[in-house]
Every structure is written in structure tokens, then in C-alpha cells.
């Protein structure tokens, strides 16, 4: 029996993705091991080696602001250095808003008299609840279809029947996860180091069509049954604007690998939810007594508007 190459290809791809995921978890500066919030009003910074007390004691070496407001610098009340000089705790005058990522700048870090360069890091709550809130946020609270009005042409085109809607939703979720992970990787490791951020739209469009083509080619061979069921919608995915919105959002927010994965998954599942809800209503509308002028697409728009109103009820909700 001939062993097909496909058996080894998928574990290999998974292993490579895993390495990238791990790489995405480290901080951006080689001398800083970890940054995290501590209690209500402090940030803790762990260094790879001992820092000089004279440098750390000077509060003007540290600059912290909330990501949306770079002009408002937070007031640092006290800098505490631990006994082994590897941990520094910044205490602030006011309590921190931990829902916002904070940007921490450390000017010319000095360790044993040597300069380690300036570090610009973002401090975020990193725990499962935060990832979960990104997922639920993208899926329900900021549903791409009902609150951002993206991807409407595919949404109306494929929501006439429940089976079509579910097929489209699942295909879309697979493709968006693949393309968002690739976009995150290219943005973090290629575009940003080469200062080519202004080319992000070109690159992301190329990546979307690449992932659609790749899924098409592989699925056709590996699982012809699934391809027969989903192949029709695969081409439609390219024409969807959610799939280009997600990479742009994650580039704008500087998301790491896990956050990007959660955003993509949330966007995909949110689209699936929207399609399923819409198709359930439209199947019933076929039997309803709709005035002739409103039959078909017009009533679908009205229903979508009502759904959007209903989803407005979720706005401003925070989970954790």
C-alpha cells in the first residue's frame, strides 16, 4: 500500500503553527521576561538579569499610558526594586483600568552598568477570561454582521435555507481562522520588522485568496465528500469583507497569536450564528403573508434590521 504524503503533512503544519504560537507569547524585548498587572494600582516587571538601582529608582525612566490615549501619561507614585534586583514594581497614584492594554516605555535600561536599550511593551491582562471575552465580544457583543454591518452580500445571498447557511458558516469559520493566523504571523514577523505596515491591505488580500485556494486544493483531495458540500461557498468567502476586517483589526490592536485566534474564531462563529438565525426566520417568511412589494430581499433587510436592534441589547456588556 502506498503511504500518502498527506498523513505527515498535517502534523508537520500543526507543529510549525505550535512553535509560532509559543513564539508569540514572549515579550517584545529580550531583557524583559514578563510584565503584568498586580493588584489594583501596580505593574510588575521581571527582568532577565539584575538592573541597577540608580536607574530603576528614577521614576522618569518609566512611562505608562493607556493604549487609546497616548497623550495622557499615568502618574507613577513609587518604584520598588526587589532584593535580587530582577523585579521592579511600579505603583501608580490612581487605580488602573485593567480592561485597556497599557503601553510601558522604559528608557535605556541599565544592567550592571551596561545599557540594554529602550523597551516599549504592552501590558495586558493575560488569562483565559480575557481571551474568552475577546471570543464572546467578536461573536455576540460586537457581532460583525449585526453591529458592524460587514459581509452583508454573502449574508443575504446564503441565508435562504438553513442547510446552505450552516455550510457557509462552517466553511467561513475554517477559512477565517487559517487566514487570520497567517496574517498575524506575517504582520508580526515580516511587515512590522521591515516597517512595511502601510502595505498591510495588499498583503492581507493576498493571504485571504491564498488560504481560500489552499483550502480548496487540499479539501478537494483529502475529503471529496466535504468538498462537494462546502466547495460552492468556498469561492464566496473571498467576496466577504469580514475576512479582511479581522486581519486589519488584529494588526491595529497588536494582538498576539492567541488573541488573534480568538478574534478569528469569534468572527467566524458570530457569522455562523447570524446566518443560522437569519435563515431560520427566512424559512418561515416563505410561508408568511408578506405584502408583494416586500417579498424577498426587502423583508430580509427589515428582519436584519430587527436583529441588529436586538443585538444592540448586548452593547456595552462586559463579561469579566
Partner 1 sequence: MDPVLIKLALGGLAVLGCIGLFFGIGLALAAHKFAVEANPKVEEILDVLAGAQ
| Residue with Cβ nearer partner 1 (43 or 251) | 251
CA–CA distance, 242 with 274 (Å, rounded to integer): 13
Binding mask 129-168 for partner 1 (x = CB under 8 A): ----------------------------------------
Number of other CB atoms surrounding residue 184 within 10 Å: 26
Which range binds partner 1 by CB under 8 A, 5-13, 36-44, 158-166, 254-262? 5-13
| Residue with Cβ nearer partner 1 (159 or 183) | 183
Asked if residue 194 binds partner 1 (CB under 8 A), the reply is yes
Q: Which of 83, 86, 84 is nearest to 31 (CA)?
A: 86
CA–CA distance, 128 with 124 (Å, rounded to integer): 12
Which range binds partner 1 by CB under 8 A, 29-37, 130-138, 221-229, 233-241? 221-229
In Å, what is the CA distance from 41 to each residue of 22, 37, 182? 29, 8, 36
In the list 206, 228, 306, 320, the residue contacting partner 1 (rule: CB under 8 A) is 206
Which range binds partner 1 by CB under 8 A, 41-49, 100-108, 218-226, 253-261? 218-226
Exposed (0-12), middle (13-18) or buried (19+): which is 67, by Cβ within 10 Å?
middle
Tell me how far apart the terminal alpha carbons of the chain are, to the nearest angstrom.
54
Q: Which helix (H) or strand (E) holds 45?
A: strand 42-47
Asked if residue 190 binds partner 1 (CB under 8 A), the reply is yes
Interface with partner 1 (CB under 8 A): 5-6, 9, 186, 190, 194-196, 199, 202-203, 206, 210, 213-214, 217-218, 220-222, 224
Amino acid at each position: 500500500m502506498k503511504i500518502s504524503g498527506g498523513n505527515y503533512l498535517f502534523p508537520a503544519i500543526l507543529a510549525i503553527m505550535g512553535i509560532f504560537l509559543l513564539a508569540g507569547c514572549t515579550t517584545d524585548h529580550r531583557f524583559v521576561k514578563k510584565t503584568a498587572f498586580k493588584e489594583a494600582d501596580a505593574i510588575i516587571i521581571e527582568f532577565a538579569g539584575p538592573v541597577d538601582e540608580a536607574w530603576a529608582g528614577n521614576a522618569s525612566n518609566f512611562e505608562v499610558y493607556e493604549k487609546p490615549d497616548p497623550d495622557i501619561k499615568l502618574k507613577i507614585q513609587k518604584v520598588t526594586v526587589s532584593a535580587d534586583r530582577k523585579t521592579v514594581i511600579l505603583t501608580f497614584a490612581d487605580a488602573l483600568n485593567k480592561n485597556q492594554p497599557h503601553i510601558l516605555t522604559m528608557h535605556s535600561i541599565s544592567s550592571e552598568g551596561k545599557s540594554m536599550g529602550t523597551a516599549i511593551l504592552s501590558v495586558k491582562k493575560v488569562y483565559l477570561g480575557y481571551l474568552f471575552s475577546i471570543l464572546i465580544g467578536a461573536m455576540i457583543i460586537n457581532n460583525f454582521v449585526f453591529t458592524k454591518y460587514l459581509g452583508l452580500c454573502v449574508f443575504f445571498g446564503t441565508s435562504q435555507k438553513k442547510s446552505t447557511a450552516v455550510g457557509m458558516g462552517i466553511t467561513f469559520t475554517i477559512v477565517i481562522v487559517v487566514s487570520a493566523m497567517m496574517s498575524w504571523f506575517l504582520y508580526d514577523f515580516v511587515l512590522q520588522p521591515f516597517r512595511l505596515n502601510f502595505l498591510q491591505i495588499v498583503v492581507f488580500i493576498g493571504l485571504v485568496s491564498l488560504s481560500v485556494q489552499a483550502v480548496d486544493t487540499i479539501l478537494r483531495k483529502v475529503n471529496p465528500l466535504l468538498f462537494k458540500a462546502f466547495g460552492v461557498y468556498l469561492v464566496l468567502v473571498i467576496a466577504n469583507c469580514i475576512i479582511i476586517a479581522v486581519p486589519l483589526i488584529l494588526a491595529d490592536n497588536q494582538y498576539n497569536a492567541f488573541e488573534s485566534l480568538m478574534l478569528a474564531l469569534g468572527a467566524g462563529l458570530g457569522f455562523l450564528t447570524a446566518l443560522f438565525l437569519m435563515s431560520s426566520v427566512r424559512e418561515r417568511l416563505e410561508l408568511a403573508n408578506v405584502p408583494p412589494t416586500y417579498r424577498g430581499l426587502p423583508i430580509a433587510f427589515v428582519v436584519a434590521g430587527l436583529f441588529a436592534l436586538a443585538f444592540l441589547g448586548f452593547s456595552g456588556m462586559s463579561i469579566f
